[in-house]
Every structure is written in structure tokens, then in C-alpha cells.
Structure 1
Amino acid sequence: MAKNIRALAAKCCFSVIDQGRSLSDELPKKQDLLEGKDKGLLQEICYGVIRYLPELEHDVRQLMQKPLTGKQRVFHFLIIVGVYQIKYMRVPDHAAVSETVAATSALKNRHMKALVNGVLRNFVRQQQNETQDEALADAVRFNHPGWFIKKLQAAYPKNWQAILQANQVKPPMWLRVNQQENSYEDYQALLTNADIEIKNIDKFSQAIELTKAVEVTKLPGFEQGWVSIQDAAAQQAARLLDCQAGDVVLDCCAAPGGKTCHILEQTPQIQSMTAIDIEQDRLTRVSDNLSRLNLKANIIAGDAASKDWWQGEMFDRILLDAPCSGTGVIRRHPDIKWLRKASDISTLVELQQQILKNIWSLLKPGGTLLYATCSILPEENREQIKHFVEQTADAELLAIAQSDDDIGWQLLPDERNMDGFYYAKLIKKAS
């Protein structure tokens, strides 16, 4: 396997874009072949290419008579890797070109060397005389798929451009303090002593935003379970669910377990916590997170749309972190733009309806269900909950104080520097 960083980047991007694989799955495999700072450079290139793909594709199309196909497709992505470096990285142009051309040998096809070299050198010359083309299609100008842009224009006519721009920004690093170990005020002091600068603290969740991301190993007490990495938007869940001592709690679609752990950290006096997820492999991460934080939960592999996993116990509180489009976390996972299709949305909406109806039947009268998604599409969020309440006689929607809407709370990407998220809080009327 090639150890050349640009060759690995081309292979990774080919796997994601052409083969539909997840960046979070593919990138670590390639990083395992590298050491030290090279891992970070590979990540920067792969994330950058996928973030700016339509624009980079447009640039390359202008320079080639015909597209590369078949076994040559990986070299198409190698050229894009080179263009990304020239446009967006601090790598000098000559170094970006020479390093990318050298990758043709690592990809075992030196015959492509002249093509890659010629295209990149032409791009360098062209870029020196380039002017901004305002006539470019929105998909290229904003680096998002056209179907998604149209949905945002319909849902957010005043700020759709701001949402797209926010998706292109590198995400911040938010910390969740394990309040069983330290108060968030005490942990701030530990960060200061470690020369780690704090930018912001969310007053609702007490999440801590760092000025600059750091390696987790540099965080005081990380291995001992004093702190976790979790966006502040996701940290609202435990606060909104508001579990009480003695509650029997279900976290539905729980993997990777961040919210499960947060609930247990916040309310250790609950009677029991059950965490279910349909994917057995992802439950390993739930177990790992619980273990690091010295917490316990009943972990079950099960489909939330059925009751095959259910052990007969009714729940006082349910967190339903529903499967969704992930359109609120594109800045963290830019491959969502290319892995998700327009046709997926109606399928997801139907699945969400099935899960909501099924899980609602497991909630005690007087109990609370918190519906959550990391989507910003109204059909998965506001419209989904409005439909459910209209169709469910014993469902009552509770107001969320931070929201201006009467149906849940929609956080948009970069709002308070958080991810895009939606919450709706429902109570089951006592019969």
C-alpha cells in the first residue's frame, strides 16, 4: 500500500465519492499507514476536497478535454487533491504540483505523470489570471448539491446562503465536563493550568468551547473520564430531558453513546438506563464510552421500529435521537453532502414516524419523550412532530424556553457556534 500522502488522499476521496463509503470509516484506515503530522495533513486534504468538491470538479473540467474513467478515476481525484492544495493550503504551488505528480508512482501508473503535471501547471497559470465568475451554478458557488440548496431556499428563504456558508467552516471543539468528577468551573481552572484557552461557555448546557482544538490526550483527566468531546447542540439533550432520581430511562438509537453518558453524569440517581441501537458494531463505542467514564447502562442491539428487543419495562423518560439526514452536522461530516440523496428524505421521514409511534407506546402516562435530530430539514423536524401530535391523542407538546417556535427548537449550523440540531419535548397525558 502506498505511503505517499497525496496518493492516500486520492484513494480515500475515490472511496467516498465514487464508492459511497463513509469518510469517518475510510480516513482512519489510511491514517493508520502514516505517522505523526502526516495523519493531520491527510485529514486536512481529504476533508478539504470533500468540502469543496463541486468547485474543484469545475476547475478540473476546464482543464481536461475528457474526464478520466474506469481504472483511471483515482487519478481524477489525485488531480483534485493537487488543485485543492494550490487553492486552499499554504503549500507553495511548485511543491503542491511536484508532490502530487510524485504520487502517480505510488499509485503504480507512471504513464499518468505527464497528464497530472500538465493539468496542475496549467491550473497554476490560469489561477494567476482568474476572476470570480458570478454566473456559476449555485451548486458550484456554494459547494452543495442542488437538491439540498433548493430545500434550504424553500425552508429558510432569508438565510439559506448563511447556512451553506456555515457548513463550509471548520467546526469548533466543544467539551462536556463530567460533573461527577469536577464542576465545570473547576475544570475551567484545570484547562487554564494546562495552557488550553477557552473561547466560550454555553450558559444552558455548561458546555465549554475551546479557542483552538487540541489532542484529547492533552485534556486534563481525559483518560480518567473527567471530560468528553461533544458539540454543545448535542449537550442540550440531557438538560431538556431533565431526568429525575428514580426514573427508568431509555436512550433510543443511542450510538455512539454521548447522550447516554451525559444523562448518567447529570442524574446518577436514576433507577436504570437502557441504551438501544440497531447496529451491533456501533454499540461497541457505547460500551467504550461508558467504560471510560465509569458508568453503567443496559445495552441492547435492537430495532427501534419494533419491540423485538423490549424486555417489558415501561419508561419514565425516553430520548429518541432519530435516524435522520444529518444535514445539521455537514461542517463536521462534509461527506454527508455526497452520500445523502434527495430520495432519502421521504424514506427517513417514514422511518421516523414508525419509530415515534412504536417508542411512544413504551412511555408511561405522565412520562416525557424528547425527540432529537441533527437535521435542519422541516419535514424531519417541525413537520414530523406537528403530524405526530395531530395523530396522537395522548401526546402534548411542551414549550422549550430557548425556542421562538411553538413546535420544538431548531438550531441552525453556526448558531451560537453549535451544530444544526432539532429538539421537541412531548409529554404523555395521563389517562
Structure 2
Amino acid sequence: MIKVVKLFPPLIEAVEKALVEIFIENRKADKAIAGILKSNPKWGSRDRGFIAENTYEIVRNWRLVNFLAGRDDVDNQRAGTYREIIGIWLIIKGYDISNSPLFEKIDAESILAKKQEAEKDRKVFYSVPDWMDAYISKEIGENWDKELEALSQQAEVYLRVNTTKISKTELIALLKTKDVEVAEVEGVESALRLVKRMNVFSLEEFRKGFFEVQDAGSQMISVLLDIQPEQRVIDACAGAGGKTLHMANIMNNKGRIIALDVEEHKLVELKSRAKRNGLSNIETRLIESKTIKRLKETADRLLLDVPCSGLGVLKRNPDAKWKLKEEFLTEIQAVQANILENYSKILKHGGKMVYATCSILPSENEKQVEKFLSNNPEYKLVTEKKLSPAKDGFDGFYMALIERE
């Protein structure tokens, strides 16, 4: 069905500016889009939705739209080519651009005909680099076809209820009064799925700390750690603290959580989020030369949500497909092994830890755990869980619960 709508130049220019920032200036997609939306407070929700959705979708389908434009060198882009790329994408989406002076030289029929050709090559149609397709296919085999298709879809938005401030039932009812429809998520007690996309960060309920935005699969990681309220818990790769906040909820804001990270600005953000969430049992510490050594055998529970390739969250971070390099996978796997070997000493004897990634690669997941366990016989695997975008619908995660004797 052809969409006959007026394409306002300022909106097209905003998408173009976002693409330039992402691909020329190397900004992260979410940061680039957020900055552009913030630059014009007069844009309404429909305009903001058009800019954000189309920018993300073009990034997600970057190789495909470049192929349709007659180019397959996605690493060598010029800012001047982006207007054509946007026009091609709008044709794919069913927009009638024939009367728009913005896209005078684009032949819709030839674009749609070439799209049929692209469907024969998964690398082009689902927009992944050759090296990534070969690398992942080698590791996970025929499963890659289904995972690739799932990772090429738009990500669902999941909320996590801040049970320190409000119950799930109360939040559902409160959001309903604001015409925000959510659905419960089977098997994930704290999660709600947003039925209709919207900017939830603008809601008063978010500003009051009643919920956080967090993938349902990610929420399973903190639950797996089997935390008790009065324990001492260490989140050794906390980042901005999404899982730290969830663990504080599980602990009923009791006990103590020490959140560690190598980047101070992330811990500053965590402090701000903890304050909004009404949580007081979180302490932040910057990782310095002797931090890990000083914490030896002090944690009842330890979370190692290690840096990874992010290949399980490509639908949420589609620009990673074009910024990730093959050599990084070797480098990050060495980092993971080092963290697992050294940070695991933080755990008390009799304690439990979770090793987790947002990757679908066995080399970052079960193989890392197998290697660690073979070198450290006092640690035992209790259980492990793999979340598949294709099978489970969430982002791709791996989590292993390990106990120290």
C-alpha cells in the first residue's frame, strides 16, 4: 500500500543529519538521535517518531539501502549521498516520493526490482558485513539464519518495575490512566512490554522512578544470581547500573551492593539513577590498581556482566554492525577471560556468581566458562541459560550461575 503523505524537508534534513553524525562523525546512534530531537522542541510526537524510527531503520538496513543505491562499499560513505539513501528507504517503506522535490532522480520501480535481487543474499538483505556473517555462521551454524532475521527486527520496549516504590499491579493501573498500554511478560516477574511505542522517558512515572527501561532478558540475569536481602553483593562491571538497580529491588533496598566500573562517568549516572529510584543500599567505586585485590573473598554474590561484542543486541544497537571489527572479538575474549579469572576471587567460599554477556557467540559464553572451570576446580557450574532472539524474542544473552566451594 502506497503511503501518500507530505514529506516535510526539516524532517528529512534531521534524518540526514543523524546519519552524518552516526557514519561520518562516528557518534552512537542513540546519542545522535537524542541530540537532534532535543534541538527542536517544536517537533510533535509524530515528527519525533518519524525521525527516530526512520534513522534507526536506515542504520539497521544500511547495506541493503546502499546496495539499492548501486554501492556495496558501506565503509566509504560521503555525506552528500545520504539524501538518496533516505529516499530509497522511504520507497521500501511504501511512501510515494514521486511528487517530492527532495527526491527527483530516484526511480521507484528500479529500486523495488533490485530489492528482489537483494533478497537472494542474506548478507545484503539483512545488512551485515561479510566478515560478521562468516564469523557467526562458523560458530553457531544453521541457527544463524533465524537469529539474523530476528536481530534485523525492531526491538520491543520493555520496562522493569521499581518495586521499591510501586507494585507491578499499581504501575499497570497508573500507566493505563495515561493511555500507556503495557503487557505482562511470562516468566519475567518484574517486566512489562510496551504495547504501543512511545517516548516513555517523558512520562511523569519515569521521572518519579517508578520504572526503568530494560530488556526482559536482561532482567533475568539479576534473578538468576539468587540474591538474599541482607547479603553483600558486588556488581563488578556495573556500567550505568541497570542490573545494579534491579538487584537493589530484589534485596528490598537492604544489605549492601558495591557497584564497580572502570569509567567514572557511568558510576556518576548510576548514582543519579539510584537517587531517582529511591535506593540507598548502593555504593559506587571506581576500579583502580588495587580495587579488586582489596575486595578478595568479600562478596556473598558477584555479578560479572562482562564487556562483550554486543552481538545479541544488534536490533537495539544496529550501528554496531558497521562499527564492530573482527579483531575486536579476539581482544574482548581475552578481556573476558582475564576478568573471569581475576574478579572471581572477590567471591567468598560458599558464595555464588553469575558470568553474563549480551552475545550469542559460544566463544564469549559457554567456552569461556568451560575454560575457567577447568582451571579453577573449586568453582562449579550450577546452571546456565541462553536467550535466543529467534526463540525467546528478547535480546540475546548468556548467563551462567557458578558456586565457589
* TM-score scaled by length of structure 1: 0.83
Please list the CA deviations of residues 116-155 of structure 1 after superposition, one character each: whole Å capped at 9, or x if unmatched: x43x2xx324236557126854321221112222233233
Distance 1:332 1:275 in 2: 25
Equivalent residue of 2:363, what SS?
helix
Pair 1:84-2:69 in alignment: no
Equivalent residue of 1:377, what SS?
coil
Distance 1:60 1:79 in 2: 8
Q: 1:93 aligns with which of 86, 90, 97?
A: 97
Pair 1:50-2:37 in alignment: no
Please list the CA deviations of residues 333-379 of structure 1 after superposition, one character each: whole Å capped at 9, or x if unmatched: 10111111111111000001111112111111111111111111111
Please list the CA deviations of residues 143-170 of structure 1 after superposition, one character each: whole Å capped at 9, or x if unmatched: 1112222233233333311111111211
Is the deviation greater in 170-179 or in 30-39? 30-39
Decide whether aligned partners of structure 1 residues 75 and 259 sit closer, same or farther in structure 2, where only a CA change above 3 A counts.
same
5 Å-filtered alignment, 1:175-186, equals 175-186=159-170
Aligned to 2:180: 196
Pair 1:164-2:148 in alignment: yes
Distance 1:311 1:67 in 2: 47
Pair 1:307-2:290 in alignment: yes
Aligned to 2:32: 26
Is the deviation greater in 294-303 or in 335-344? 294-303
Distance 2:302 2:59 in 1: 36
Aligned to 1:9: 15
Is the deviation greater in 306-315 or in 73-82? 306-315
Please list the CA deviations of residues 218-270 of structure 1 after superposition, one character each: whole Å capped at 9, or x if unmatched: 75732222222111011112211121132111112212211111111111364
Shift of 1:10: 2.5
Equivalent residue of 1:171, what SS?
coil
Pair 1:363-2:347 in alignment: yes
Decide whether aligned partners of structure 1 residues 172 and 415 sit closer, same or farther in structure 2, where only a CA change above 3 A counts.
same
Decide whether aligned partners of structure 1 residues 167 and 320 sit closer, same or farther in structure 2, where only a CA change above 3 A counts.
same
Decide whether aligned partners of structure 1 residues 128 and 134 sit closer, same or farther in structure 2, where only a CA change above 3 A counts.
closer
Distance 2:252 2:294 in 1: 22
Pair 1:340-2:346 in alignment: no
Question: Could you tell me whether the CA contact under 8 Å between 1:244 and 1:269 is conserved in 2?
Answer: no
Please list the CA deviations of residues 302-327 of structure 1 after superposition, one character each: whole Å capped at 9, or x if unmatched: 26xx5346654611111111000111
5 Å-filtered alignment, 1:209-288, equals 209-216=193-200, 221-268=205-252, 270-288=254-272
Pair 1:147-2:92 in alignment: no
Distance 2:277 2:380 in 1: 35
Equivalent residue of 2:300, what SS?
strand
Question: Could you tell me whether the CA contact under 8 Å between 1:194 and 1:220 is conserved in 2?
Answer: no
* TM-score scaled by length of structure 2: 0.88
The count of residues paired between Structure 1 and Structure 2 equals 392
Shift of 1:185: 3.0
Distance 2:200 2:188 in 1: 24
Equivalent residue of 1:361, what SS?
helix
Calculate percent identity across the aligned residue pairs: 27
Pair 1:173-2:179 in alignment: no
Please list the CA deviations of residues 85-115 of structure 1 after superposition, one character each: whole Å capped at 9, or x if unmatched: 2212x542135x42x45xxxxxxxxxxxxxx
Question: Could you tell me whether the CA contact under 8 Å between 2:88 and 2:111 is conserved in 1?
Answer: no
Question: Could you tell me whether the CA contact under 8 Å between 1:238 and 1:262 is conserved in 2?
Answer: yes
Aligned to 1:418: 394
Question: Could you tell me whether the CA contact under 8 Å between 1:173 and 1:210 is conserved in 2?
Answer: yes
Is the deviation greater in 355-364 or in 414-423? 414-423
Question: Could you tell me whether the CA contact under 8 Å between 2:386 and 2:397 is conserved in 1?
Answer: yes
**Structure 1: unaligned runs, 5 residues or longer:** 102-116, 400-407
Equivalent residue of 2:117, what SS?
coil
Distance 1:353 1:398 in 2: 19
Decide whether aligned partners of structure 1 residues 81 and 25 sit closer, same or farther in structure 2, where only a CA change above 3 A counts.
same
Aligned to 2:69: 60
Equivalent residue of 2:380, what SS?
strand
Please list the CA deviations of residues 261-292 of structure 1 after superposition, one character each: whole Å capped at 9, or x if unmatched: 11111113642111111112222321221011
Distance 2:305 2:183 in 1: 28
